[in-house]
Structure 1
Amino acid sequence: MPESGAPRERPLPDAPAAAGPPGFFREFTDFLAFVRRPRLGPRLPRAPASVRGPGGWRFLGTQEWLGGLKGPHFFQWLLVLWGINLLVLGPLAASVAFASGAERRLDVLHISWFHAVVWAPVLEEMLFRFGLRRPAAALWLLPILIAAMFMRPGLAAGASIAFACAAVAGVLAWRRQRWPWSVLRRYRSLFPWTFHLVTLAFAFLHLANFRLGESGWLILPLLVLPQWASGLVLGWMRVRFGILASIALHAMFNAGPMALLWVLQHYAPAWLDG
């Protein structure tokens, strides 16, 4: 028996339960609430701890680029986007295009995989959605990204754009370029308007994919309803999980139709001829 004066051993405290990743239902309800009232925070709890270098300096993009590596539920979101676009918004846009006489400028059968799965997702996400959380840096990158919109997709062009963006980002990180707190607070108050205007701009950009007919301009937004709906999801994902997550979902979303067209071209070409 222990002596009466000896201190009693206390049991070790239970380790705190690790916060589990949010389920898809939680992500979906958060998305609906976000669309009704867009806000900058909080991020969903999947991002790893920030990586810091000597002197406590945070490596550029730890949260932005690595925060979405373990989430969200990409497969479920792909099914949602493909389902909505294939069953509802896609047929509606196609019927509007037929009724208005609008024709696609791009031949979807001759779009390269690099263009659809690498070039467009990276460029469009950086141009339209990177600035949702990094508005100061996005303004410096904007001229480079706009110039890239007029370039022909290719490895050399992509490498030059990446080098230019990395150089600008390096200078901004070295100078620790930030907006004053008063400006950031104002931006936060205007963020709901900013988010929806950026989403509309992303959708209307895709009107350039059409040779528009003679119908009234009031029906033109119906042509890009699929891009508008997809832009809402991609914007939410960028804000909640980081820019890499929205790029990844955008690339996978584009890869689905590309894979379907490849299968039809090689195994059922008669379907495309019809």
Structure 2
Amino acid sequence: MNAGTTSLAPAISMRSEWVQFARFLKRPTLPTRAPLPKIMSLIAVLRLFVLDLIVMSVLLGIAGAVMSAGIDVPETALAGMEIGPAIIFAVIVIAPLVEETLFRGWLSGRPGHVVGILLAVPAGLLAAGIFTAVGGGTFANPWAGMAGAAIVGLIVALAFVFLLRRRDAMRWFKRFFPLFFWLSTLGFASVHLFNFEPGQMAMALPLVLPQFATGTMLGYLRVRYGLWSSILLHMLHNGAFISLVLLAGSAA
């Protein structure tokens, strides 16, 4: 075990998992390397998903009460948009993969993850520029271009993860881990402000509270069980959200 890290005992129930999560938020600490995926890890993801659904239900209830009071609430980019298979795939698969890699892939503090993410972003942007130039200044399919750039960035990140796989978390990173954890969570929530019109971003601040709350769970899972677990919870969360949007649209 590395100095300065802790290893949490496996939770034996949903309640104990939630208690561990609450303790983690009170004092975010970087554990030792996350274990390989196993059944208990998958169960932990499902436990956090239940908590996520509860939190989202409460926040949606508050939003509904605000709207019932006659207060205008800014609409997201999905409002009025025709949601087809490409949008659903992007929301449930592409977005979790990209966002978890960018916002939490480096939270392990290991050099391969940190350096990989730092270089994956410019590599993805460079790939996007090349794809745009080859396509004559625009993509015939914007989603395909974004997916291509994301894949290039992911390949770069994975290459450095493999090359530096034996390196443990950096000491300075472990020392400042609480700061990195909250900055990651805040950044994840803030980027969702771009789902609203520029003039509505200030009013939309309370509307990204769900992303902030979910971000804390994603960060906990990432360092406790591995990046795959935060990606899976993110997919489940987005899947539940898009299902709610589709149901609301069909009922309208």
Give the TM-score normalised by structure 2.
0.72
Structure 1 residue 143 corresponds to structure 2 residue 115: no
Task: Give percent identity, aligned residues only.
Answer: 27
- Structure 1 residue aligned with 2:239: 255
8 Å contact 2:123–2:156 — kept in the other structure? no
Rg comparison, structure with higher value:
1
Equivalent runs, 1:61-210 vs 2, <5 Å? 66=37, 70-86=41-57, 88-93=58-63, 95=66, 99=71, 102-107=74-79, 110-111=82-83, 112-133=87-108, 134-144=113-123, 152-154=142-144, 157-159=146-148, 161-170=150-159, 173-174=162-163, 176=164, 184-210=170-196
Deviations 1:217-247 (A, max 9, x none): 4x64312100000000011001101011100
Q: How many Å separate the matches in 2 of 1:214 and 1:167?
A: 36
Question: Which secondary structure state, in structure 2, belongs to the residue aligned with residue 73 of structure 1?
Answer: helix
Deviations 1:135-173 (A, max 9, x none): 23221223245679999333x643553244324532563
- Structure 2 residue aligned with 1:61: none
Instruction: Give the AA of the match of 1:81.
Output: D
Extract unaligned runs of 5+ from structure 2: 1-8, 130-138
Instruction: Give the AA of the match of 2:211.
Output: Q
8 Å contact 1:234–1:246 — kept in the other structure? yes
Deviations 1:2-54 (A, max 9, x none): xxxxxxxxxxxxxxxxx97643222211111111111111467xx34xxxxxx
Give the TM-score normalised by structure 1.
0.67
Deviation at 1:102, TM superposition (A): 2.5
Closer/same/farther in 2, CA of residues 232 and 149 from structure 1, 3 Å limit: farther
